[in-house]
Amino acid sequence: MTNYTISVLVTLLQSLPVGTNLALLHFMWMMVSGALLPNRGAMFPALKATGLSDAAMRRARGAFRKGAWQVAVLLRLWREYVKGLKGWQEHRDEGYLAVTVDVTAF
């Protein structure tokens, strides 16, 4: 499951500028891996828990804070990725579109 999650993150972030893409990958992995939970939401200890060096931790923070990326673009890429999965199909019931992938938490 870890390899699949990392490969999905890589797919989503590979189109970002060089530098931002890897550092933001580290940041996103920290978020989805659950590293924030035992560290009570503290970012630097959580990044450290994922095995990053001090320099990589600073780059991840910098990418999240000032990197060349936009949430709207990442959400669009995520939706495109999900719609491209084998077997995915949109379901409508009496005019309502069921939410397949909820992105509210992010």
User: What is the predicted pLDDT for the residue at 98?
Assistant: 73
Condensed to tens digits (0 to 9), the pLDDT of residues 14-26 reads: 989 998 999 999 9
DSSP state of 98: P
* Predicted confidence (pLDDT) at residue 78 exceeds the cutoff of 90: no
Most confident of 3-7, 43-47, 78-82, 94-98: 43-47
Give how far Cα 96 sits from Cα of 31, 44, 99, Å: 31, 42, 9
CA distance 8 to 78: 9
